[in-house]
Amino acid sequence: METYFEHLINATYQAYQDILIKKHGNIYPLRSAVVKFGGFQLSYNWHGRTRLGKEEIGNLTIYTKEIHLNILFAYCLAGLKSDIPNFTDHFGFRKLINTIAHELAHCLMANYKLNFGQKHDERHQELTQDIEAFLWTLYEVKELERLQGLK
């Protein structure tokens, strides 16, 4: 399952990065080649998390981006039940796609400026909505949605 999400995250990151390059030009000095999927982790206060990093090796600077998703998404995908009120509203498939879009927006915005305390401003909201709409067009998302029996 983690390989699926690693692929989905990177395919979307690369495709949407290309869309932004066509729109604004190749002006991304902090661009990463890949976004690592850090896996599913248990948390009671976040749906997803993006870690932005910078490593220096001699004169070379490497920018890293890593997305983590709450393990409760995996539980919900597996059809497991929870005592959490409105569990499927908080961790269902639609919220999962929104969370991936939200975290990818952080990664794409970090291509311009590596901001470790980035606020959720209007640009972030718009980019999240655009990426979410893009995600819903992908075969991988449609197939997983079909497997979830949402249609």
Tokens 């982790």 belong to which residue? Answer: 41
C-beta separation of 48 from 68 below 8 A: yes
pLDDT digit string, tens, across residues 89-127: 999 999 999 999 999 999 988 887 655 556 678 888 999
Helix (H) or strand (E) holding 69: strand 60-70
Helix (H) or strand (E) holding 44: none
What is residue 26's predicted lDDT score, i.e. its pLDDT? 72
pLDDT digit string, tens, across residues 42-90: 998 999 999 988 888 899 888 889 999 999 999 999 989 889 999 999 9
Tokens 């850090």 belong to which residue? Answer: 38
What is residue 112's predicted lDDT score, i.e. its pLDDT? 75
